[in-house]
Each structure stands twice: as structure tokens, then as C-alpha cells.
């Protein structure tokens, strides 16, 4: 089966999935992407992994573009035109096309579905929560494209529910499990610390709570700091909070820490992707207080490093990855008192962190790049089967 994946922009975490999918189809795989939107470091990795199977295009034009609001979905408009895209798809001679989302470069994929009858798989990440502000025009467009979509490869159950309940796609045509971080590489880099943690290395010590990500409004960091303020005012020197990343919110957040006189809060700054495992290795718990995320990849990364997870209920990955009081907790970042109580819970039960981190490692073993590639291949097989009917 010749598979062509059309995705203008992706990060490091996708490379192992593409490489695994290429192996599953004996090298009959092509990824078409934008050389201007994918970083040079990632281009080097995808070129090294796929060789001629990695097709990068240049010269993308923006027919219409407006700024997004600090990363929130559906708060901006981006209509691109990529010269040579149709020719690149045709040159790959696809037997099935996987296209990222409904917009961006998907209209080109849609033309092949309509006029060439090439089966189409949509790789979809969004949930009902992230799409709550989608306007009627966007919604109707997605419903229209869904009529020509043969299968959907989703992150997890929340994405699947949106596709079924809102877009009207039959449940039999929706596959979950198509998202994964490079958990195997992270696990190797954190192996020494993970062994210490499983041996009870954190017992009796103050837990280190870690946030990794951009410092932007949608990540819920202001809400988290309100909860941390309530926590630290009642339980001094009980734990520390490390924020790894940078962004436009850093200044306001630093002012908030100063004004509230928050204890034990450290801004570690920007960190290269290849060095992030060191922060996971030095922490005891990951905190992800996001107000809106399809599937935070830092969650499975941290799990692969043996960390329990404090995960916002607005993060699309929690149903698969975070099991309440088993390997972590799900919380509402808007509820500062409950967030503070959760910090207390972690500190009071710190002797359980090693065990919970071990459970994280077990759970994430079902969400590796190989598993994600197999899920996408199942979607491709469904799409081809439907097209033949």
C-alpha cells in the first residue's frame, strides 16, 4: 500500500511515527511538508529517517492570514497556497492519502479524493472543547469534507466523540491512538532517574512539580499559580515548582510570583527538545494546567520518564493517559482551592509517587510511535476498503 501523508508543519515527535509507518508499508511512504514551516533541525531528522520519502516544498503563499489569540483554536485565519503541492502528491502515486486536519493543505488532498478517487484519511486532533468557538462556516466546511472522508485517525476518545457527534462520521470509520510522543527515546534518556524513583528515591523529600511548555495564556499558568499561592501559604517548604519554557506570558507571570510572594517557584527558561529529558529526570510530578489542548505531548513524555501527572480536564489526552489516583489526577485549573488541595495531596502522599510513576510508564507503553503508526495504518486500510465497496 502506497501511503502519502500531507502535513505542512510538524515537530520532532512526528518523525518516529512517520518512520514507523514507513516500515509498516515496506518503504512505500511519502511525507509532503513545508520547508518553511518545519524547522531545519526537524528537516534533518525527517530527511535522515525517510530519504527520498521526505518531500519538502518551498514558496508557500498566504492568501489570507490573521493572528491567532495566544494559540487558542479558531481565533485566527490562515489560508495558504503551496505551489507544486498537487504535482508532489501526484508524483508519489498514492493508493491512500492521509491529510492533517480539514484545512491547510487538505483541499489539495480532497481534489484527489473527488477527481482521482484516491481514498482519504483525515488525521484529526481536535475535541469538542477545543472546537467550542468554531464558527458556523468552519463547522459546515468540516461537515462537507467529512462526506468525502473515508476514515479518520484520531488522538483519542475525545477526538472520536467530536467526529461522531458533531461531524456525523460513522464510528466504524474512526480509529483512535494515532498520536504519540517519542516515548522510547525519552525513556532511554531518563532511565537512571526512573530506576531511582522506582526504588523510592523521592520518599521523604520535597516533591519537585514541573511544567514544560510555552508560557502563553492558554496554558493556564496564572490559574495554576493562584492554586500554588493557596498551597504555599498553608504548607511552607513542602515542594517546589519549576516552569520550563518561554513566551509572552513570562513577564506577567514573574510579576505575579513577585507580587504574591510565592515561594519555591523557578523560571528555567527555554530548553532545546533534545535536552528536555534532563528536566523530567530532575522532577517528581508533571503539572499540565492547560485551558485548551488537543493532546499535550509533554504528558506522555513525562510518563515515559516515570512521572505521575497532574492534568487539566481541558487536555484531550487525559482519558487514555491519566488514571485518577493511579498514575495521577485530573483537575480543573479554574478551581484554585481544589488545585491547592491537589498539591497538598501529592505532598502528603509523596511515598506513593514512585509507584504512580511506575504506573505511568506502564500505561504509556500502549502509546508509542509504533502504536500510533499501526493506528494510522488501520485507518488507511479502512479507507481503502470503503473505497472498494
161-206 pLDDT per residue, tens: 999 999 999 999 999 999 999 898 888 888 755 454 444 445 457 8
Fold (CATH) for 3-180+368-388? Rossmann fold (3.40.50)
- Residue 41 has a pLDDT of 94
CA 19 – CA 29 distance, rounded (Å): 9
pTM for this model (two decimals) = 0.91
DSSP-derived letter for residue 220 is -
- CATH number for the domain running over 183-364: 3.40.50.2000
CA 191 – CA 187 distance, rounded (Å): 6
CA 205 – CA 351 distance, rounded (Å): 9
Per-residue pLDDT in tens (0 to 9) along the chain, 389 residues: 999 999 999 999 999 999 999 999 999 999 999 999 999 999 999 999 999 999 999 999 987 655 555 556 666 667 899 999 999 999 999 999 999 999 999 999 999 999 999 999 999 999 999 999 988 999 999 999 999 999 999 999 999 999 999 999 999 999 999 999 989 888 888 875 545 444 444 545 789 999 999 999 999 999 999 999 999 988 777 899 999 999 999 999 999 999 999 989 999 999 988 889 999 999 999 999 999 999 999 999 999 999 999 999 999 999 999 999 999 999 999 999 999 999 999 999 999 999 999 999 999 999 999 999 999 999 999 999 875 54
- Cell numbers describing residue 287: 503539572
Ramachandran bin of 148, using left for φ above 0, alpha for ψ from -120 to 50, beta for the remaining angles = alpha
- What are the φ/ψ torsions at residue 297 (nearest 5 degrees)? -70, -20
No. of helices (H) and no. of strands (E), the chain: 16, 15
Q: From residue 170, give the alpha-carbon distance in Å to each of 109, 162, 164, 349.
A: 21, 11, 6, 44
Domain 3-180+368-388 and domain 183-364, same fold? Reply is yes
Domain ranges across the chain: 3-180+368-388, 183-364
- Residue 275 has a pLDDT of 86
Amino acid at each position: 500500500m502506497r501511503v502519502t501523508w500531507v502535513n505542512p508543519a510538524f515537530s520532532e515527535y512526528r518523525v518516529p511515527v512517520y518512520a514507523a509507518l514507513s516500515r509498516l508499508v515496506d518503504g512505500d511512504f511519502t511525507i509532503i511538508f513545508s520547508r518553511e514551516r518545519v524547522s531545519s533541525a526537524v528537516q534533518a531528522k525527517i530527511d535522515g529517517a525517510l530519504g527520498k520519502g521526505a518531500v519538502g516544498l518551498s514558496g508557500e503563499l498566504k492568501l489570507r492570514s490573521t493572528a491567532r489569540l495566544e494559540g487558542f483554536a479558531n481565533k485566527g485565519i490562515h489560508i495558504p497556497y503551496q505551489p507544486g503541492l498537487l504535482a508532489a502528491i501526484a508524483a508519489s502515486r498514492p493508493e491512500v492519502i492521509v491529510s492533517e486536519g480539514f484545512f491547510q493543505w487538505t483541499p489539495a488532498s480532497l481534489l484527489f479524493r473527488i477527481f482521482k478517487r484516491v481514498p482519504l484519511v483525515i488525521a484529526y486532533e481536535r475535541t469538542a472543547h477545543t472546537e467550542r468557538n468554531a464558527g458556523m462556516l468552519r463547522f459546515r466546511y468540516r461537515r462537507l469534507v467529512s462526506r468525502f472522508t473515508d476514515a479518520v485517525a484520531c488522538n483519542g476518545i475525545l477526538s472520536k466523540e467530536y467526529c461522531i457527534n458533531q461531524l456525523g462520521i460513522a464510528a466504524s470509520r474512526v480509529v483512535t491512538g494515532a498520536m504519540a510522543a517519542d516515548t522510547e527515546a525519552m525513556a532511554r534518556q531518563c532511565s537512571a532517574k526512573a530506576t531511582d524513583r522506582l526504588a523510592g528515591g523521592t520518599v521523604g523529600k520535597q516533591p519537585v512539580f514541573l511544567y514544560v511548555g510555552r508560557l502563553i495564556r492558554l496554558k493556564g499558568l496564572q490559574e495554576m499559580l493562584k492554586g500554588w499561592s493557596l498551597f504555599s501559604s498553608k504548607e511552607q517548604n513542602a515542594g517546589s515548582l519549576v516552569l520550563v519554557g518561554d513566551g509572552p506570558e513570562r513577564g506577567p507571570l514573574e510579576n505575579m510570583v513577585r507580587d504574591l510572594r510565592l515561594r519555591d517557584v523557578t523560571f528555567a527558561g527555554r530548553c532545546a527538545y533534545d535536552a528536555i529529558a534532563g528536566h523530567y529526570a530532575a522532577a517528581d510530578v508533571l503539572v499540565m494546567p492547560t485551558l485548551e489542548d488537543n493532546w499535550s505531548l509533554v504528558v506522555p513524555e513525562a510518563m515515559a520518564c516515570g512521572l505521575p501527572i497532574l492534568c487539566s480536564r481541558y487536555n484531550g489526552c487525559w482519558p487514555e493517559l491519566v488514571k485518577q489516583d493511579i498514575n495521577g489526577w485530573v483537575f480543573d485549573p479554574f478551581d484554585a482551592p481544589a488545585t491547592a488541595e491537589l498539591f497538598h495531596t501529592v505532598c502528603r502522599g509523596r511515598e506513593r509517587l514512585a509507584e504512580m510513576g511506575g504506573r505511568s510508564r506502564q500505561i504509556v507503553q500502549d502509546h508509542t510511535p509504533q502504536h500510533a503508526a499501526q493506528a494510522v495504518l488501520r485507518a488507511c486500510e479502512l479507507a481503502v476498503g470503503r473505497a472498494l465497496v
